[in-house]
Amino acid sequence: MDIRKEQLEKIAVDYHTNENIPDIHIENLCQEYFIAWLLKQIPKTAHVLELGYGDGLVTAALAQSGCELTLIEGAKTLLDIASSRHPNINCIETLFEDFRPVNRYDVILASHVLEHVDQPQALLKLMSTWLTDTGKIIVVVPNRNSLHRQLAVAMGLQPTLDTLSKRDVLVGHQRVYSFDILKAHIVESGLHPVESMGFFLKVLPNAMMLEYSKELLWGLNAISTDLPADMMANIAVIATKNVNL
C-alpha cells in the first residue's frame, strides 16, 4: 500500500472510527453549525465535489440536499462506510492529488483538507482546474489565531501560535493557517477570495471543555457571526475563478 494511504488508514482507525475519542461531541457540534451555513452556499442542482469523508456529517447533509454529489477519499475504510451509508452518491477511492475528473464541478468543498496535505498550494491549483468557469471552491482550515491558541501562548503552554498539539498530530495536521496565509495560497492558485467566515469561539483546548454543556458549546458556535472571524477556531474562504462572481 502507498505510504500516504497507510497514513490515511491509520488516521481513519485511530480517530474517525474510534469510538473512544472523548471530544468527538465538540467537533460534531461544530460541524452541525457549519453545515447550516454551508448549505446556503450550494444551489440544489449543483454538481458538488467533496474532498474527504471524515466523520460523515457533512457528506450526509450534502447527500440529502438534492445536489449531485461526488466524494473522493483516500482511506478505503472511510470510503466503504460512505458507500454503504450513501449508495446514491458517487464515491471514488483516490488520493486528492491523483484525482482527474471527467467533468467539472459547480462547487468544490475542501473542508479541513489543506492542513493535512504535503503541498497545499499545488492541490489548490489542481482543484481550480476541476471547477466550472462560474463555480466556487469552499475551503475550511484550522486558525492559528484562534482565541484558545492565543491564550495558550500567553500562558506559556505552547511556544508559538503555529505549534501543533497532540490532537493536531493525532488527526494528521501538518500546519495551521491564518486568513492571510490561506488567501495568499488561494491567489497563488489563480483563484479569487470573495467571502470569508469564522466558526467556533474556542476559548480552551477541547480537553478542557469536555464537561461543557451542549447549550454552551452551541452558543460558542452561534456567537461566531457577532465576533471577529480571525478569533475563531476554524476559518473558511469562498473562492471563484471570476472575481466578479
Distance between CA 31 and CA 18 in Å, rounded? 18
So what's the pLDDT on residue 245?
58
Q: φ and ψ at 107, to 5 degrees?
A: -140, 130
Q: What is the per-residue pLDDT for 3?
A: 81
Lookup result for grid cell 476559548: 203
pLDDT of residue 5: 87
Cβ atoms within 10 Å of 137's Cβ, excluding its own: 25
Residue spans of beta strands (DSSP E) within the chain = 47-51, 68-73, 90-93, 105-111, 131-142, 192-199, 234-240
3-class secondary structure, 150: helix
Cα angle 84, 116, 17; round to 5: 35
- Mapped onto helix, strand or coil, the DSSP state of residue 205 is coil
Below-50 pLDDT ranges, the chain: none
DSSP string, 51-97: E--TTSHHHHHHHHHTSEEEEEES-HHHHHHHHHH-TTSEEEE--GG
CA atoms within 13 A of residue 106's CA, in its CB half-sphere: 11
pTM of the model: 0.95
For residue 180, the model assigns a pLDDT of 97
Q: What is the pLDDT of residue 2?
A: 77
DSSP code, position 100: -
pLDDT score recorded for residue 244: 67
Show the domains of the chain with their CATH numbers.
17-67+100-240 (3.40.50.150)
